[in-house]
Amino acid sequence: MDSSFDEFYMQRCLQLAKLGAGYVAPNPMVGAVLVHQGRIIGEGYHRLYGQAHAEVNCVRSVTAEDQHLISLSTMYVSLEPCAHHGKTPPCAALIVSQRIPEVVIGCVDTFSAVSGKGISILENAGITVRTGVLEKECRELNKRFFTYHEQQRPYIILKWAQDPSGYMATADGAPIRLSNIFTDRLVHRWRSEEAGILVGTGTAVNDNPRLNNRLWTGKDPVRLVIDRTLKTPRHFHLWQGDIPTLFFTEGTSSKEGATETVQLNFEQPVLPQVLQQLYEHRILSVIVEGGPYLLQRFIEAGLWDEARVITGTNAIPDGRKAPALPHALLTEEIFLEGDSIRYYINKS
């Protein structure tokens, strides 16, 4: 088949996969389409963690009158079909059982339980398999998933707001609004798309933040707080409610309801310990919304993948400067009612 047709259908897989953002972690986002002689007869995506995968939803979507075409069609899927029994049966086995003769895959799954095994199942069943169609785009879509499995840590996004002079906090640490209401909604959309949100002691104590998703649809991220001596007052928002919350502390580990304290050794570098705990808790991505000190620690350690910097129009007469971003590549800048939002990636 003409490669342009392959890319057309794979692009549709990517469009579908993105609909699962914020709902499928720690699984990857995946989209699938079933094509018979240039006509899409079925399509699906992974909608919710623990429920049916993209390939299953794709096959289920085929109408009764088109059922007989399944065994004559090509399936396009953005990620290698799974080969292991997890929350659901393996998708590679489903494809074989449906006698689908050809499968086109965007990128190989590097997760050890899958990596290459799904393709082997298909090929051993006599199915023609082609890979690498829009591979870069397919990997980019699941950069959180791949970072988690390949580097054994979450995908890290740094986020902060600053004034036009580069100040992000007042000298005395008092809260101040720097972004407008439209940007606030964008930030909450970001929260809905990540597995966790992290702050340090200063932000937890000075701002009494909720760290939830109030201004957008979707789930709340797991709240994460580095608080060595548990200075965050017990009546503050972070101790309340049913949102899963982890406090990283030098005290004893414990769990009460949705809140958990995790003991770390603060005489040793803290961030690697935090990231190890997040890996063990299967948190694939974290947006860091802490103050200058915490953000600077991530930057100095090189432990970041993206940064999103909001520059508002309100000015702070004097205060604490936002950190610098060495090895950063500016990829995009957008404007929302006067606020600038710059997107960077770590190119080191």
Tell me the residue type at 339: D
Find the CATH number of the domain harbouring 264.
3.40.430.10
pLDDT of residue 1: 53
pLDDT the model gives residue 14:
98
Please check if 99 is assigned to a binding site: no
Considering 103, 131, 148, which residue would you say is the last residue of a domain?
148
135 in a labelled binding site: no
Q: Is 88 annotated as a binding residue?
A: no
Domain assignment of residue 82, given as a range: 3-148
Instruction: Show which of 99, 122, 148 is a domain's final residue.
Output: 148
Domain count for the chain: 2
SS (H, E, C) the chain: CCHHHHHHHHHHHHHHHHCCCCCCCCCCCCEEEEEECCEEEEEEECCCCCCCCHHHHHHHCCCHHHHHHHHHCEEEEEECCCCCCCCCCCHHHHHHHCCCCEEEEEECCCCCCCCCHHHHHHHHCCCEEEECCCHHHHHHHCHHHHHHHHHCCCEEEEEEEECCCCEEEECCCCCCCCCCHHHHHHHHHHHHHCCEEEEEHHHHHHHCCCCCCCCCCCCCCEEEEECCCCCCCCCCHHHCCCCCEEEEECCCCEEECCEEEEECCCCCCHHHHHHHHHHHCCCCEEEECCCHHHHHHHHHHCCCCEEEEEECCCCCCCEEECCCCCCEEEEEEEEECCEEEEEEEECC
- Annotated binding-site residue? 308: no
Q: Are 31 and 166 within one domain? A: no
Instruction: Please identify, among 119, 148, 177, the residue that sits at the C-terminal boundary of a domain.
Output: 148
Active site residues: 55
Tens of pLDDT along the chain (348 residues) come to 567 799 999 999 999 999 999 899 999 999 999 999 999 999 999 999 999 999 999 999 999 999 999 999 999 999 999 987 777 789 999 999 999 999 999 999 987 667 789 999 999 999 999 999 999 999 999 999 999 999 999 999 999 999 999 999 888 877 788 999 999 999 999 999 999 999 999 999 999 999 999 999 989 999 999 999 999 999 999 999 889 999 999 999 999 999 999 999 999 999 999 999 999 999 999 999 999 999 999 999 999 999 999 999 988 988 899 999 998 999 999 999 999 999 999 998
Residue 113's pLDDT is what?
65
82 is in an annotated binding site: yes
Is residue 302 located within the same domain as residue 234? yes
Do both 165 and 250 map to the same domain? Answer: yes
Residues 129 and 167 reside in one and the same domain: no
Give yes or no: residues 144 and 156 share one domain: no
pTM for the model? 0.91
| Co-location of 127 and 232 in the same domain | no
Residues 128 and 46 in one domain: yes
**Annotated binding residue at 191?**
yes
First to last CA, the chain: 39
Same-domain status, 139 and 165? no
Q: Output the pLDDT for position 228.
A: 98
